Amino acid sequence: MFRSDLFRTAAFRLTLGLVCVVVLGMLLELVLLYGQISTYEQLRTNDLLRRSASVLMQEAPGDLEVRLKERSTSELRIFLNAAALFDKDHHPIAGDMTAWPAGLTASQSTQNLSFVLPDHSVTIMRFLVVEVPGMQPGKTRLLVLGRSRHMVDELRHVARQCALFSMLPVVLFALTAGMILSRRALGRITKMHHSIEQIVKGQMRERLPVGRGHDDLDRLAGSVNRMLDRLEQLMGEMRDVGNDIAHDLRTPLARVQARLDRLNGFVLTMAATTEEEARFEQAMALCQRDLEQCFSVITALLRIGEIENGQRRAGFRRMDVMPLIADMADLYEPNAETQGLILSVVPHEGPVELWGDADLLNEVLANLLDNALKFTGEGGEVTLRAGCNELCEPWFEVRDTGVGIAVEERNAVMSRFYRADKSRHIPGSGLGLSLVAAIIRLHEARLVIEENREGEVRSGTVFRLIFPHPEDAQGTGQG
């Protein structure tokens, strides 16, 4: 299980989306809390300033100055951070303000301004200016009251801290839960993917695992399994029909062949002239050839059906493919010499071991060699070779210098009855490579068809079969 696969699962992405929604909700809540704190503290400050001003305005003019001078020892210090009395020209009379705050206007509304404290630090304060009676009748003075906004800042700081410390556990918990759920879902999907791979390789009896939770994945797996059951049934019926037709054709064709043989002997005894006898022999030979071709098609179809239906693995074992290649080369060498071809085996140091059925692999080699000799002209070469690639996967190939296969036809040649344009004039059933494909699927191998580019050769075809590592294939076959 790869970490990148874990993060790409739908469960983790859904969890991540929910985390984002929760975080956005918490941020929205923080914004609303900020607004509520600011509004509440502003109203509270305005109320404190106005009540303090109302209390001080009730003092006599002389008592007001004394009250402001003694503010540091009175309860006013608790509510007010700054208080002073100024004349109409903004000159200080009493209090702890040595100068009129910059930007302050003599209005009856509260104002937020920067203010320099006695320790030379700058803070934001909320001021209220009211007119009070002066010492002389008819004269007025300006009472300036200020309250720091540090409470708002502290409340906002506390709100930020609370939001941060409450958000982190939520996010961490949600991500952890998402990873756990994703790991569980990924494990189930991995099992489903393995089953699908087996189905793609031809194991039509394989089914997706279904749990007991009856969740979405279980319902989907159940639906897919029902679909596979139906497909397996239909494919089985199609194979059975083909096999039945092939079986039914063998008997009448065999009878026709036997009757032709008897008729041939009878007519030869009745032939009046040598010319008539020769013509009759030629006609009978053509009939026999056509019948043999029909028999070869029927035999190939039955053999493919046997391999696909039986899924035979009883003969599978760990084996060295080099002796098989050598035996098949010895078997086909006389045919190659008769056609004027060179058939050779490239030696390999040590064994090339794979997990397979020797009889089936002999059929593969026989079909590939038969095609290579059939489609390679006189003077050409056919080469057998085996080895292991960089992944320690065993392989063997049949390489020829024949007519070659066009790139667009390389997948189609493995289909039943397909004949490439270059080979339509050459006798054949079009089922040899289909039989090879069925055996390849049974061995869970890969077939690579490419152009022969060895040396100076620029024509011909290479059929390379790549098998799983024998340890992996043996474990799969026994499991």
Over residues 142-192, the pLDDT tens digits come to 888 888 777 777 777 787 787 778 778 878 887 787 777 777 777 777 888
What is the per-residue pLDDT for 311?
Answer: 55
CATH number of 13-156: 3.30.450
pLDDT grade for 433, boundaries at 50, 70 and 90: confident
Q: Is the pLDDT of residue 424 over 60?
A: no
What is the per-residue pLDDT for 384?
Answer: 93
What is the per-residue pLDDT for 76?
Answer: 47
Position of tokens 């799983």? 468
Q: Is the pLDDT of residue 105 over 90?
A: no
pLDDT grade for 1, boundaries at 50, 70 and 90: very low
What is the per-residue pLDDT for 464?
Answer: 92
Q: Is the pLDDT of residue 477 over 60?
A: no
What is the per-residue pLDDT for 430?
Answer: 58
Which residue has better confidence, 398 or 309?
398
Portions of the chain given CATH number 1.10.287: 216-310
pLDDT, tens digit, 9 for 90 and up, residues 228-274: 888 877 776 666 666 666 666 666 667 766 767 766 666 656 655 66
Whether this model's pTM surpasses 0.75 = no
pLDDT grade for 2, boundaries at 50, 70 and 90: very low
Which residue has better confidence, 306 or 30?
30
pLDDT grade for 476, boundaries at 50, 70 and 90: low
What distance in Å separates the CA atoms of residue 99 and residue 392, rounded to the nearest whole number?
Answer: 90
Q: 316-478 belongs to which homologous superfamily? A: Histidine kinase-like ATPase, C-terminal domain (3.30.565.10)
Burial of 295 (0-12, 13-18, 19+ CB in 10 A): middle
What is the per-residue pLDDT for 306?
Answer: 63
Least confident range from 96-100, 260-264, 455-459: namely 455-459
Alpha-carbon distances, residue 355 vs 68, 373, 395, 396, 441 (angstroms): 103, 27, 11, 13, 13
User: How much is the mean pLDDT over the chain?
Assistant: 77
Fold of the 216-310 domain: Helix Hairpins (1.10.287)
Q: Which two tokens stand for residue 78?
A: 């608790």
What is the per-residue pLDDT for 386?
Answer: 92
What is the per-residue pLDDT for 455?
Answer: 56
Burial of 438 (0-12, 13-18, 19+ CB in 10 A): buried
What is the per-residue pLDDT for 153?
Answer: 76
pLDDT, tens digit, 9 for 90 and up, residues 188-213: 778 888 888 888 776 777 888 887 77
pLDDT, tens digit, 9 for 90 and up, residues 52-81: 888 888 777 777 777 777 765 554 454 457
What is the per-residue pLDDT for 27?
Answer: 81
What is the per-residue pLDDT for 457?
Answer: 53
Which residue has better confidence, 251 or 46?
46
Q: Which two tokens stand for residue 119?
A: 């320790």
Which residue has better confidence, 80 or 117?
117
Portions of the chain given CATH number 3.30.450: 13-156
Which residue has better confidence, 59 or 330?
330
Percentage of the chain lying above the pLDDT 70 cut: 73
